[in-house]
Structure 1
Amino acid sequence: MNESRKGDQPGEACYTFYTGATRRAAAARVPSGERTLGRDGFVLRSLPGGLIIRGRNDLGTVFGVYELLERAFDVRWFMPGEAGEHVPRRSRVRIGQHRLVFKPAFRVRWVGKGEWSLRQRMNAYVTADGRSVGIPWKWHFHTFRILMPPERYFADHPDYYALVNGKRELTASQTHGNQLCTSHPGVIRELSRNLIAALDAEPETEIVTLSPNDGGGFCECARCRALDEPGRDWFARYSRRLAIFNNEVATRVARRHPNVLIKVGAYAMYARPPADPAWRPAPNLFFQLCHLYFCHNHALAGDGCRAGVTYDPDRARFLPNQTFRELVRQWRKRSPHLFIYEYYAIGGMARAGLPWPLLHTLLADIPWYRDEGVEGFYTQLDDTLWHRLGLNYYLAAKLCWNPDLDPQALLDDTFRKGYGRAAAPMRACILAMERAMEQWNRCVSYGLFGESGEAFGYFLTQVLTPAVLARMERHLARAEHLVAGDAARAARVALTRRMLDETRRNLAARRAAPPPPPPPPEVEHF
């Protein structure tokens, strides 16, 4: 039993917190099964003089404690570090009555890493006191090089690697190219052996990643090409060959590690599932579908992407969200294990030194993913860009944990607690960018090039106009005045000042430069 008591002063009643698998939780018949709580949900149940916090496991109990800290104590963690902590000072706290059974909507939740993510109730790459406490997970995404390192195999087995332009040779890249000949029996055998050995060494692993290296350079040998489906578009160019390969590896791994999920990519040239109606994925495959080369300025559930209106289908290097919506549903029909890879950071905006105003889409898209039966959610996050993208990260984590949160109430809570007296001008400052993006109403993709082939840094000059930046400046100056003397909130406002100053500088440089040339002719892929 783990009990924490409050009220030891004379005349004060004692209030007890029963955390974890306590005798009191058992006596109250608090549910603890996976059917009710998922992988790491929890129960909060009030009783006379105390509160039971019972998780599905230890991690679930920790999540229950953090949930209580938010609900009853109004604690928030807007970003990592002291500047992100909001811990109100109160002489008395009203715990209230609780009878909550919480099963997380997404079984896998991955926004950021470390203790900040743990406090947001994420369960991938989270830590407590430096210890990994989340889902035992191995590798991020691109793993061919890890599982079949060229320096180990190429000299004796160049045939294990992709035939490109009539040659099997390596590139100097550590991340791109150097793909495998996935139809080669020796590759299937050796990679499966290496994957099994990695799991033997870390038998607690629940999810392991298997996916090609980034970029192109896929094998052009006759055996590999014979597995492809003729007539399909760029997004399905290698779907069938990789689906067959993944099934072969997954079947071998399952014989020794039947409870491990193998996460494989649905990305770029293998984003679509095979058209072959006979193909069925191995039950231990977990598909991560990437929202790349699709629009980020319109919600997935709507029809905001309109050819000839919001994008030029002859020039754009991406497809409308209606197509991505179809992909989500196609994958869900094939497998219960679908995991989304989102791009709320990095990409063209970050590389151009600019903000990425997409609250208007992410607040709608994450609940939509849940409604479609998606099992896991991930977004890219850059720890150096909290000043520019922190609100995207924070709100994505909140909705990843609980997609039923009301978006407007969530925004109100964030600005009110995060900025206090400066809530109104800070909200007006940030939402000025959002409204400008919505009113511009063009499709924008994550990559370096966006709508109609225009580079991010160039087209954003059309969105964040001098008039929009001037409005933001007025609101931000007012916020700075209001938080004077409040160190924590002044530090948060200072981050937005840094963002706005960077944005103004970088946009000025782009306005002074000629329009960029069109992108390279990779558009033929589409």
Structure 2
Amino acid sequence: MLFKARLKRACNRQGHAVFVLIICLCFFLSGLPLSAQKKSRPKQTNASATHIVLTDKETSRYRIVVPTAATPHELKASQVLQDYLLQISGVALPIVAANKGRSRYEIVLGQNERLAEAGINVDFNKLKEDGFLIKTDSLRLVIVGGNEKGTLYGVYTFLEKYLGCRMYSPKVKVIPTQKQIVLSPINDLQVPVILFRDTHYRGTWEAEYTDWHKLDHDKEGGRPDWGMWVHTFNELVPPQNYYKEHPEYYSLVNGKRLPTQLCLTNPAVLEITVQNLRRKIAQNPTATYWSVSQNDNRNYCTCDNCRAIDEREGSPSGSIIQFVNQVAVQFPDKIISTLAYEYGRKAPKSLRPRPNVNIMLCSIEVNRDKPINEDPASTDFRRDVEEWGKIAKDIIVWDYVIQFNHLISPFPNLHVIQPNIAFFAKHGVTAMFEQGNREVGGEFTELRSYLISKLLWDPNQNVDVLMDDFLQGYYGVAAKPIRTYINEMREALQKSGAPLRIFGTPYDAATTYLTPTLIRRYEQLFDEAEAAVNQDSKLLERVKIARLPLEYAIMEQAKKNFTGKQGVFVKTDGKWQVRSAIRAKIDSFTDLCNRQGVTQVKEWSTSPEEYRAAMYRLFSQGMKEHLAYNKKVKFLSPVAESQPTEAGRMLTDGVRGSHDYAFNWFSFSGKDLEVVIDLEEIKPVKRIESAYHQFAFWLGILPKKVEYSVSMDGEHFEPVGLVNNTLPIDQYGAIQRDFVAEFAPRNVRYVKVKAYTIGNTPEWHPGAGRPATMRIDEIVVE
């Protein structure tokens, strides 16, 4: 309005001719066509030599200029910038092509011809694919990026770093409004050291989150540049097609050919691999990376030819690299990736990967309580990183930041994420895949996703600053007690000196960072956090979700303790009852998981509803002092000498297993179960039950059948029940099954239970040819 008032006064003083002259002069100086001057414009003061006023009171002289032949990513960058500037300032800046006129007031995006006109030199080779430059030049703002998404990444960084925007999760964004956007001088060049950046958290798959945080995956979590990802031997040489007629194509393990891995020195295997890979590439020719990599087991080939190479090279990676090099020769325009994982992690002595071979190095064995570069237990892994770095031109690290058996469980590893990523970057790693939770939910999922994404782009950022910013933005005034919770749990872990493992459990931590005393302290902190935001339903829900892992840990420890202090069951007036504090947790826990959309609480198995069902199964089974309770168990198979001393006691101690096979389940492999229980005196019996656990993906498989028989003398047994299994072994989730025999009452002293294993797994199974594991938790006699 000030500009219009000045024009009106000029018109009144000098007349119409002067008025027209002033208008023409203003348009000439601004460089804008008449049609653009419909609104009042912000005044560019003398300070404009060092500052740019992009918008002022819902007005702006600026426009967004894209290259004449803009790429889809550059066009998207312009639309993103336009949209957010509108939300921040209320001003919709026009988007124009570089060949549509000139102005002094421009935001120049992308690899734009306007750069040369303005004398702005940019080294695009230095920017690579994703790097960018944000720069002020006189009155211009320039955001220019590498050949892929660099310009788009530059726009999101500009919004975050210079305008205060945040995207904490796909559903939580901060867009501060500003009446005036004023920019100080900027000269910000960013080129990531980690060129391929991916973290496996479901929430990061949302399209804008992916772009905002500069991640390399699509909306399904896939990687478009990868035609095949990992564990591909069976896909390239399918056992169902070849094993029966050509077992020699597969691993020789303990003198027997098994379809667990490939025989990598068999010429026919190489030929079939190349043929099938060629077909797959023809179906997806734009993909660059193709994995030719070991299956997820340790049964590699030990035939004479394979063993000779591996012994010469000092590692089974020898036969792997020789084979993959031969494949890579056939595809010079593609990159053939292979795993340096478990048995193949150590680099070969003399063999070198070809230039078009990618090494995917996996850190599955290292601890998560100390940074890799400080942990004495990680010495071998550090050596492997360094040795592969000397011989391979293309390395991607597959790192792990999750506790697999308990996806919703306290896992205090946040303090090692930054130093570990920095360690890899320092040793020449240019691609990283951080395996988090592929399912929805988990401990601090949003925080972990945020930190990892930021650190993959720049490993040298201050993680405390990043964390505090996130906690404040995501939890509001509850941030302080939640940060205290994170700090105190970390301190307890470090003080204990105990290792933190990705296959650990909440009950392993009962003497370290999840002691009863510490749990009470953590509950107090969350009570404080909830009270701080109890008037804000959204923040309160987020705090309760952050509390879920603590609730889960309490329930899991209760199952382990069972009848002990804080266990599931308590004896009241001579009767075992479910402890009310534990019963009260399961429904609120499950309901909140369902509201959040949590899919699994354990890798590959156990949905929240299945977890609830397992808990209620435990409640209903109760703590029973049945006829066989605490009675002696004699092992006929497997032999007692091969079992732990507590094996017999586990079968009659009244303690029942639940969804997790890691505790309260007696496990063994490759044998039938045959045991005899002495009831110590003759008693009437009418029912015998035994419970078994199946997690077939990891070889835990139900018995084919269970036979029950009884005896008075312990030598002559009468059959009283036969229960056949009717459940398949190709359902890889967790299953619990009670095998129950009921019969007419009879007097009994001895009870025999025989459960028949299926033997070795069939050829189609992921653990093909390996002995099945049987898991049993209790034999109940009534």
Paired position in structure 2 for 1:40:
130
Q: 1:510 aligns with which of 560, 565, 570?
A: 560
Q: Per the alignment, do residues 249 and 100 of structure 1 end up closer, same or farther by CA in structure 2, a change over 3 Å counting?
A: same
Paired position in structure 2 for 1:192:
274
Pair 1:332 & 2:379 matched: no
Tell me the SS of whatever aligns to 1:77.
strand
Q: Is the 8 A contact 1:15 1:49 kept in 2?
A: no
Q: Is the 8 A contact 1:292 1:445 kept in 2?
A: no
Paired position in structure 2 for 1:386:
441
How do 1:232-271 residues align onto structure 2 when only pairs under 5 Å count? 236=315, 238-254=316-332, 257=333, 260-271=334-345
TM-score scaled by structure 1?
0.81
Q: Is the 8 A contact 1:41 1:60 kept in 2?
A: yes
Paired position in structure 2 for 1:413:
469
Q: Per the alignment, do residues 151 and 91 of structure 1 end up closer, same or farther by CA in structure 2, a change over 3 Å counting?
A: farther
TM-score scaled by structure 2?
0.56
Q: Is the 8 A contact 1:358 1:392 kept in 2?
A: no
Paired position in structure 2 for 1:295:
367
How do 1:90-169 residues align onto structure 2 when only pairs under 5 Å count? 90-112=178-200, 114=205, 115=207, 116-123=209-216, 125-127=217-219, 136-169=225-258
Paired position in structure 2 for 1:310:
none
Q: Is the 8 A contact 2:366 2:372 kept in 1?
A: no
- Over the aligned positions, Cα root-mean-square deviation in angstroms equals 2.9
Encode CA deviations 1:27-49: one digit per residue, 9 max, x unaligned. Answer: 34342523x11331111122344
Paired position in structure 1 for 2:379:
322
Q: Is the 8 A contact 1:461 1:511 kept in 2?
A: no
Q: 2:40 aligns with which of 7, 10, 13?
A: 10
Pair 1:78 & 2:168 matched: yes
Pair 1:283 & 2:355 matched: yes
Which has the larger helix fraction?
1
Letter aligned with residue 150 of structure 2: G
Q: Per the alignment, do residues 247 and 420 of structure 1 end up closer, same or farther by CA in structure 2, a change over 3 Å counting?
A: same
Q: Is the 8 A contact 1:104 1:402 kept in 2?
A: yes
How far has the Cα of 1:504 moved from its partner? Answer: 2.1
Paired position in structure 1 for 2:346:
272
List structure 1 segments (4+ residues) > 6 angstroms apart after TM superposition.
513-521
Q: Is the 8 A contact 2:192 2:458 kept in 1?
A: yes
Q: Is the 8 A contact 2:128 2:147 kept in 1?
A: no
How do 1:347-496 residues align onto structure 2 when only pairs under 5 Å count? 347-350=404-407, 353-384=408-439, 386-390=441-445, 391-447=447-503, 456-462=505-511, 463-496=513-546
Letter aligned with residue 29 of structure 1: I
How far has the Cα of 1:97 moved from its partner? Answer: 3.1
Q: Is the 8 A contact 1:164 1:217 kept in 2?
A: yes
Encode CA deviations 1:71-90: one digit per residue, 9 max, x unaligned. Answer: 123222333x31x3333344
- Using CA pairs below 8 Å that are at least 6 residues apart, which structure has the higher relative contact order? 1
**Separation in structure 2 between the aligned mates of residue 253 and residue 428 of structure 1, nearest angstrom:** 54
Encode CA deviations 1:370-425: one digit per residue, 9 max, x unaligned. Answer: 11221111111224353414133321211011112112222222222222222211
How far has the Cα of 1:482 moved from its partner? Answer: 2.3
Q: Is the 8 A contact 1:342 1:380 kept in 2?
A: yes
Q: Is the 8 A contact 1:106 1:374 kept in 2?
A: yes
Q: Is the 8 A contact 1:19 1:53 kept in 2?
A: yes
Corresponding residue pairs, total:
468
Tell me the SS of whatever aligns to 2:366.
coil
Q: Per the alignment, do residues 465 and 271 of structure 1 end up closer, same or farther by CA in structure 2, a change over 3 Å counting?
A: same
Q: Per the alignment, do residues 91 and 148 of structure 1 end up closer, same or farther by CA in structure 2, a change over 3 Å counting?
A: farther
**Separation in structure 2 between the aligned mates of residue 46 and residue 98 of structure 1, nearest angstrom:** 5
Q: Per the alignment, do residues 48 and 160 of structure 1 end up closer, same or farther by CA in structure 2, a change over 3 Å counting?
A: same
Q: Is the 8 A contact 1:357 1:437 kept in 2?
A: yes
**Separation in structure 2 between the aligned mates of residue 73 and residue 503 of structure 1, nearest angstrom:** 41
Q: Which runs of 5+ in 1 are unaligned?
A: 1-5, 171-176, 306-319, 449-455, 522-526
**Separation in structure 2 between the aligned mates of residue 440 and residue 327 of structure 1, nearest angstrom:** 28
Tell me the SS of whatever aligns to 2:162.
helix
Pair 1:180 & 2:268 matched: no
**Separation in structure 2 between the aligned mates of residue 298 and residue 65 of structure 1, nearest angstrom:** 36
Pair 1:228 & 2:275 matched: no
**Separation in structure 2 between the aligned mates of residue 241 and residue 214 of structure 1, nearest angstrom:** 17
**Separation in structure 1 between the aligned mates of residue 539 and residue 129 of structure 2, nearest angstrom:** 36
**Separation in structure 2 between the aligned mates of residue 183 and residue 439 of structure 1, nearest angstrom:** 50
**Separation in structure 2 between the aligned mates of residue 487 and residue 76 of structure 1, nearest angstrom:** 21
Q: Is the 8 A contact 2:403 2:501 kept in 1?
A: no
Encode CA deviations 1:182-216: one digit per residue, 9 max, x unaligned. Answer: 11111112212322332233232222212111112
Q: 2:299 aligns with which of 191, 201, 217?
A: 217
Which has the larger strand fraction?
2
Q: Is the 8 A contact 2:506 2:514 kept in 1?
A: no
Letter aligned with residue 461 of structure 2: L
Higher gyration radius (CA): 2
